[in-house]
Amino acid sequence: MSFLRGVGLVIIGTIFFLGLIFAGLLYTGQSSLGYENLKGEVGNILLDNVVRDQQFAEGFNGTILYLQDYCKTHSSYSFRSDISDSNIDVSCGSIRAGKQAIIDEVVNESLGQIYYQKYDCEFVDCLSQDKPLYLVSEEFKGYLMNKFYFALLGLIVLSILMFFLVEHKTNYFLISGILIIVSSLPFLALKSIFFFMEDYLYGISSIFLLTSHSIFLGLLVIGIIFLIVGIVWKLIGVGFKISAFFSRHKDDEADEEDDKDEKETFSKKEVKEIVNEEIS
């Protein structure tokens, strides 16, 4: 029975560990897709591309010169965006201010339309219908959040199973804490996994990983709390057992002096066994 309990604990613990990583990825994706996060990151990606890509930069600089000349007789410049399939209006004030101001206004104008657009499909269907902008929409953020709730429910069930499979219940918090801490480590270096991509593609993939470091810290703190609870629980258990032991032997203190050394030796041995039993 003890062997089966141990095998079951290893299997459930492994699934729990993988589930933590999966749930963490879901939460990282949905939290990274906040509108304010996207607005700042998309602008940075476009600006980096302007700086790094010489051909793109030359074309962009030429466009700015044309727009600045255009603004001598106009207050704004409008164009049709193929990405958002809508009209984008850029004020001449932003055009005169330079690259950063132009990019910020274009992102603000187009991203809002893309982000809040309503789709008549979900994840798999939207991708099969060649609608990649669904991945940076509010609907996809909600989709990820719903999947996270299902994953969280599964983790709670697995956690309960682990609690009943652990022979010494104090070890439940220690095992859970260690698994949570270890599962947090991949999120510390999640962005570096895509380092081999080209700069532009790396920037796009990093959009979905903006909050990975926060997820790492969150899991790390939760894991440490579990460890502290487990250690404190063990110490309390040791204290209660030692207290109970001395209470049982309190009446023996009036026995003969000749038996005193033998009792002290026996008592120390039992105390040591109690502590070892709780720590194991």
Give 6-31 pLDDT, tens digit per residue.
Answer: 888 999 999 999 999 999 999 999 99
As a whole number of angstroms, the distance between CA 258 and CA 262 comes to 8
pLDDT of amino acid 51: 45
208-259 residue pLDDT tens: 888 888 999 999 999 999 999 999 888 887 676 677 666 666 655 555 554 5
Q: Which residues of 130-148 are buried (b: 16+ CB within 10 A; e: fewer)?
A: eeebbbbbbbbbebbeebb
pTM to 2 decimals? 0.75
pLDDT of amino acid 266: 45
As a whole number of angstroms, the distance between CA 240 and CA 266 comes to 19
pLDDT of amino acid 225: 95
* 3-class SS of residue 87: strand
Spans in the chain with pLDDT lower than 50: 50-51, 53, 55-56, 258, 262-263, 265-266
Beta bridge partners of 86: 81
